[in-house]
Amino acid sequence: MVFRKTLWTTLIFTLCVTAFSVGIGWSLALLCAFAPKRTSIFRLMIFATFGIFEAVAAYIWVSIFRPGEVGLLNGLLTAVGMGQRRHLSR
């Protein structure tokens, strides 16, 4: 009984959130498509979030692979005893 009630609540929540999200996205897309030319600042605010996301993701990857022991990956490898390995290429 509890499982069915939980499943039903999750289904209702998922449908409501999806409908709300799609409705907001569709409304903003229509507003951008049919809006006058003076709304370029509005379009910039919407699409700048995509660029900000890419910049943050790039910064995170750079901090993971930073050379030396200051990078997250190199720090973890040093902590488990695998840091500072040297390759002999001869």
pTM score? 0.44
| Tens-digit pLDDT string for the chain (90 aa) | 899 999 999 999 999 999 999 999 898 888 777 877 777 777 787 778 888 888 999 998 888 877 765 777 877 887 887 766 555 555
Report whether 74 contacts 67 (CB < 8 A): yes
Q: Closest Cα to residue 29, out of 15, 39, 18, 14?
A: 39
**CA–CA separation, 59 vs 69, rounded Å?**
17
